[in-house]
């Protein structure tokens, strides 16, 4: 079920994966844009364009796929499906917020109903399905045929026209309107309305029970457990209310920006994750996960994370599973923490770059992990759906890595033994040798044939495809901490890109590759080389912006200055004044460039605000 069931507590099922399970990885129909849902041996994943794909939960074998009547190219985060009594209830944003009822076994449409502007998962309980609709209002529909049983009016923005669904503003890939999913517990339905108030209705007839003005985000949901309702506002204030009358039991200021993250309630504790400003060396992104006593709100533990958390955690069999979003310099990772003490049990770095070579709005782990029957399912921004062993973190990795993991090595952690570097280094060298052999052979052949034929667009396209594959390999090497190998791969990528056509798209890709090369060289402690490459990156981005003016190239230029500023903060952690001055100057220039292309009000608002916070941290006296 979505979020562990209709109560939205985020709690998983059995502790161990079935004996026949083997970790698998498969390509989804576009970027995975909602948390996977597992029920009756089937895993459901929503892809870009609103497609819904069903696969065998144990083997990953394809079963069926639903294509919406109208598709879009936007990979915006969509609503996750909900499974109840052999039926799949799915809100199709591409079809104007239409609520569909599909057969779980075959994918056939049983019935559909127009809700107008629904962009959040429905909830199912008993013989009813609860969904948001235009008005705004909450509707209870018959699970059998979709007929309306009752409706309740909500406060907030009035939206009546179906076409307005295409005009909903997006922030970080999340829909602003009706992003709240109902939570059902016993005979009550709980929902965050568009005005930020938390409502409670009777599930049988829709009569209002209570309403609390809490200023909640319209893209978050509440969790219900043991007679208490838990919800967090955007600034991280966690509320615990009595489920019967809505009175406040306790509140806690967590100190993190919770955003759209839903609290997790598990074994007498409430877990909340979000975004926090680092107290140490200025970072572009940082975050934390916190645990509180569910009854009293007392502190249990807190654990900082390298990058901020944009997706709700999941919990089960004594663990809390967390996906950190990642940033330009800090890769995203998936980790398992002890539910009682927050101790890291395992962690895995993951590819956090989207398949799109230019648009970075969809980078990072923005989708919540799903844990069911000892298997963890995760959708990645590169368009793959992964199934991992939840107990160990083992996934469909190469044979040597799986063998090392089964010996008990904590995944993603460095062993304190002298030979710990040997095996990763050999793997990177073998990977680089393979890339050089394949890329060199293809590149030389393409160059020779293109030179002899005068022009060969198909061969240029082949070289461009090879360069993009090498770029992906370089990013993976960066995520695994093999910065020397990543630098070699990105250098090879730049060499291969010389064989491609000199178009604007190729030029943008070259600039991104050069920036990644600079990051890899810098992280490999080659400061002098990093300064030269960072300067070349800024020059290339500025030249491209002058040759092809526009917001896209302007953003790329601002990113180059922000990367330089972040690099100086990393290389001058000792507090040298020269390093601080350089970092502040480049951060100020980055902020000015972001302002010049109106990035503070668009999809790049997050990174623009990060650059601004970095600048303020550098110029504010300690």
pLDDT band at residue 355 using 50, 70 and 90 as cut-offs: low
Let me know: does 339 contact 292? Beta carbons within 8 Å: no
Is residue 168 pLDDT above 50, yes or no? no
pLDDT tens, 381-429? 777 888 888 888 877 655 444 444 444 444 433 333 334 556 666 776 7
- Specify the CATH class of 2-406 in words: mainly beta
Strands (E), 203-343: 208-213, 223-225, 228-232, 237-242, 248-253, 264-266, 269-275, 287-293, 299-305, 314-316, 319-324, 333-338
pLDDT at 325: 78
Segment 357-378, tens digit of pLDDT: 555 566 777 788 888 888 888 8
pLDDT higher at 394 or 161: 394
Tell whether the model's pLDDT for residue 116 goes beyond 50: yes
CA separation (Å) from 92 to 67, 71, 395? Answer: 10, 10, 31
Residue the block writes with tokens 């144990």: 58
**Mean pLDDT computed over 143-160:** 74
- 3-state SS track over 32-45: CCCCCEEECCEEEE
Among 48-62, 93-107, 177-191, 430-444, the least confident range: 430-444
CATH topology match: 2-406 vs 418-619: no
Greater model confidence, 2 or 315: 315
Least confident of 56-70, 384-398, 570-584: 570-584
What's the mean per-residue pLDDT of the chain?
76
Q: What 3-state class would DSSP assign to 245?
A: coil
Model confidence at 174, pLDDT cuts 50, 70, 90, reads: very low
What are the extents of the domains in the chain?
2-406, 418-619
- In percent, the amount of the chain with pLDDT more than 70 equals 75
Q: Is the model's pLDDT at 282 over the cut of 60? A: no
Instruction: Using pLDDT thresholds of 50, 70 and 90, give the confidence band for residue 476.
Output: confident
pLDDT (0 to 100) of residue 413: 34
Q: Which own/partner pairs from 295-301 qualify as long-range (CB within 8 Å, at least 24 positions apart)?
A: 295/268, 296/250, 297/238, 297/240, 297/249, 297/250, 297/251, 297/252, 300/269, 300/340, 300/342, 301/341, 301/342
Q: Specify whether the CB–CB gap between 276 and 288 falls below 8 A.
A: yes
Tokens at 83, concatenated:
């499974």
List the beta bridge partners of residue 45: 53
The answer, yes or no, to whether residue 27 has pLDDT greater than 70, is yes
- Look at residue 159 and tell me whether its pLDDT is greater than 50: no
Q: Lowest-confidence range among 110-124, 199-213, 260-274?
A: 110-124
CATH code at 418-619: 1.25.40.10
H helix intervals, 87-134: none
- The pLDDT value recorded for residue 126 is 83
Q: Which residue has the higher pLDDT, 100 or 117?
A: 100
Whether 467 shows a pLDDT value over 50: the answer reads yes
pLDDT band at 14 (very low <50, low <70, confident <90, very high): low
Q: Any idea which residue has 């568009």 for tokens? A: 194
Kindly state the average pLDDT of the residues 545-567: 83
- pTM score above 0.75: no
Higher-confidence residue of 415 and 437: namely 437
The confidence band for 455, taking pLDDT boundaries of 50, 70 and 90, is very low
pLDDT for the residue numbered 178 = 53
Q: Three-class SS string for 443-456?
A: HHHHHHHHHHHCCC
Asked if the bond preceding 322 is cis, omega within 30° of 0, the reply is no
Indicate the SS3 state at residue 477.
helix
**pLDDT at residue 38 above 70?**
yes
Of 141 and 69, which is predicted with more confidence?
Answer: 141
Band of pLDDT at residue 616, cut at 50, 70 and 90: confident
Distance of CA 535 to the CA centre of its chain: 31
pLDDT at 241: 92
Report helix, strand or coil for 530: helix
């Amino acid at each position: 079920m979505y979020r562990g069931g209709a109560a939205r507590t985020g709690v998983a099922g059995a502790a161990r994966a079935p004996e026949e399970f083997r970790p698998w990885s498969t390509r989804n129909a576009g970027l995975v844009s909602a948390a996977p849902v597992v029920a009756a041996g089937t895993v459901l994943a929503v892809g870009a364009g609103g497609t819904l794909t069903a696969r065998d939960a144990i083997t990953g074998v394809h079963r069926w796929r639903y294509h919406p009547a109208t598709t879009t190219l936007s990979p915006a985060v969509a609503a996750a499906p909900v499974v109840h009594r052999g039926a799949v209830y799915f809100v199709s944003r591409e079809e104007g917020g239409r609520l569909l009822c599909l057969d779980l076994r075959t994918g056939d449409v049983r019935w559909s109903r127009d809700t107008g502007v629904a962009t959040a998962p429905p909830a199912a309980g008993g013989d009813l399905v609860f969904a948001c609709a235009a008005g705004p209002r909450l509707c209870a529909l018959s699970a059998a045929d979709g007929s309306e049983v009752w409706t309740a009016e909500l406060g907030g923005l009035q939206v009546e026209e179906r076409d307005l669904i295409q005009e909903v503003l997006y922030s970080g890939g999340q829909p602003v309107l009706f992003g709240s999913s109902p939570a059902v517990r016993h005979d009550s339905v709980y929902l965050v309305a568009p005005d930020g108030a938390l409502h409670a209705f009777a599930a049988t007839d829709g009569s209002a029970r209570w309403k609390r003005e809490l200023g909640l985000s319209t893209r978050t949901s509440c969790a219900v457990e043991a007679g208490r309702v838990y919800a967090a506002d955007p600034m991280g204030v966690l509320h615990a209310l009595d489920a019967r009358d809505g009175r406040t039991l306790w509140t806690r200021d967590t100190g993190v920006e919770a955003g759209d993250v839903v609290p997790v309630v598990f074994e007498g504790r409430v877990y909340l994750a979000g975004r926090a400003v680092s107290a140490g060396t200025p970072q572009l992104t940082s975050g934390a996960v916190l645990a509180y006593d569910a009854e009293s709100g007392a502190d249990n533990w807190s654990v900082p994370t390298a990058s901020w958390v944009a997706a709700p955690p999941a919990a089960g069999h004594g663990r809390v599973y967390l996906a950190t979003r990642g940033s330009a310099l800090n890769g995203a990772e998936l980790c398992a923490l002890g539910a009682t003490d927050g101790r890291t049990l395992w962690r895995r770095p993951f590819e956090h770059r989207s398949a799109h070579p230019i648009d970075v709005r969809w980078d990072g782990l923005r989708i919540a992990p799903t844990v069911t029957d000892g298997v963890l399912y995760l959708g990645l921004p590169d368009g793959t759906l992964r199934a991992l062993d939840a107990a160990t973190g083992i996934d469909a990795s190469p044979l040597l890595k799986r063998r090392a993991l089964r010996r008990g090595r904590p995944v993603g952690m460095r062993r304190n033994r002298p030979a710990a570097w040997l095996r990763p280094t050999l793997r990177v060298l073998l990977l680089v040798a393979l890339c050089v052999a394949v890329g060199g052979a293809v590149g030389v052949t393409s160059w020779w044939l293109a030179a002899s034929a005068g022009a060969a667009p198909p061969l240029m396209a082949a070289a461009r495809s090879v360069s993009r594959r090498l770029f992906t390999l370089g990013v993976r090497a960066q995520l695994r901490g093999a910065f020397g190998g990543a630098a070699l791969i990105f250098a090879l990528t730049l060499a291969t890109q010389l064989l491609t056509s000199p178009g604007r798209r190729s030029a943008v890709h070259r600039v991104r590759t050069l920036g990644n090369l600079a990051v890899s060289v810098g992280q490999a402690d080659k400061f002098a080389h990093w300064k030269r490459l960072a300067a070349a990156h800024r020059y290339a981005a500025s030249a491209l912006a002058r040759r092809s003016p526009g917001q896209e190239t302007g953003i790329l230029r601002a990113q180059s200055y922000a990367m330089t500023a972040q690099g100086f903060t990393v290389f001058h952690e000792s507090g040298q004044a020269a390093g601080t001055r350089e970092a502040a100057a480049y951060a100020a220039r980055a902020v000015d460039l972001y302002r010049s292309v109106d990035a503070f009000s668009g999809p790049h608002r997050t990174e623009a605000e990060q650059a601004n916070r970095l600048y303020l941290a550098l110029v504010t006296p300690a």
